[in-house]
Amino acid sequence: MSKNIAYVNNKFVNFLHATIHIEDRGLQFGDSVYEVIAFMNDNNFIDLDFHLERLKYSLKELDIKFKYKKKELITIFKKIIHSNKFINGIIYMQITRGVQNRSHAYKKNLKPTVIIYAKKTAFNTQKKIKGVNVITYEDYRWYRRDIKTTNLLPNILAEHEAHKKNAYTAILLKKNKITEGCHSNIWIIKNKKIYTHPSNTDILKGVTKKRLIYIIEEFGLELIEKSFTLKKLLNSDEVFLTSASSFVTPIIKVDSKLINKGKIGNITLRLSQLYYRSFRK
């Protein structure tokens, strides 16, 4: 099997020649869902079960008829990774509703389009963890952020603004309250208490967030799942973000305000170490 391959609708194809139909609903309407799954050392798929659980939820909420077996997906993932000779990276998997003559209303029983490929990535691990600076940006997204769809234009605009300002990403605000990042969940620490937004339709239920909550509870740290204001974030002792590709990443500057004098906090560092160890066992 040649290098640089992808998987599209039951076929392994050259990545550069991977195509879908021009009337695919994922292309025309963003009528699709996706997952990004990190892997390390070839085949250690991080939090795979959590990702597949969320994929199942997103498919159900959008009524996309796609059935899969975990073993079959793992076989596809491994073939792509080994053919491309990747060690560490991410698997991108997207499921669209399928192809149909252009119409807002979708027909029943369409055959979903399946797209899977891998990308080599360097992770922010405990051995080389670094803090990042972020900006704040208004949250213009739709009201079902709990579904992991490809409707990401507001995220793209916010992320573009962050990159213009040489920032790592953007933290999104709704009515002066923090929702989440463009592609991450946001956490703050104040007086040794850890705060994060509750998992509801205002945010995406992050897979890394779910894993970290288990870790926090296991080690007896105090977690409060409650929305918080920008002011509270700026006055916190530590701030960090979590995502499948960023793991636990410290935030040391928000807009022009330094957090913890621009240094990585001790609790954040500890959580990063514990998270990393949780899948290195």
For the chain, which residues make up each domain, given as ranges? 5-120, 132-278
Annotated active-site positions, please?
148
User: Nearest 5°: phi and psi at 14?
Assistant: -60, 130
pLDDT grade, residue 3 (50/70/90)?
low
Could you give the residue ranges of the DSSP H alpha helices within 21-180? Answer: 25-29, 48-62, 70-84, 153-164
What dotted CATH number matches 5-120? 3.30.470.10
Closest CA to 181 of 151, 147, 158, 214: 158
Q: Give me the helices (H) in 134-265, please.
A: 153-164, 207-218, 230-234
Residues 66-74: contacts with CB under 8 Å, at least 24 apart:
66/95, 66/112, 66/114, 74/43, 74/45, 74/48
What tokens appear for 18 in the block? Answer: 């991977």
- Mean pLDDT value of segment 126-132: 80
H-type helices in the chain, by residue range? 25-29, 48-62, 70-84, 153-164, 207-218, 230-234, 266-278
**Average pLDDT over every residue of 161-189:** 97
Do the beta carbons of residue 279 and residue 44 sit within 8 Å? yes
Interval 222-258: pLDDT, tens? 999 999 999 999 999 999 999 999 999 999 999 999 9
Give me the pLDDT at residue 127, please. 64
Kindly state the DSSP code that residue 280 receives in the 8-state scheme.
Answer: T
Q: What is the DSSP letter of 16?
A: G
| Residue 23, SS3 per DSSP | coil
In the CATH scheme, what architecture does the domain 132-278 have? Alpha-Beta Barrel (3.20)
pLDDT of residue 4: 86
Angstrom CA distances, 191 to 57, 195, 198, 238, 250, stand at: 36, 11, 20, 10, 17
Q: CA–CA separation, 110 vs 103, rounded Å?
A: 13
The one-character DSSP state at 184 is: S
Query: Residue 281 above 60 pLDDT?
Result: no
- pLDDT category of residue 2 using cuts at 50, 70 and 90: very low
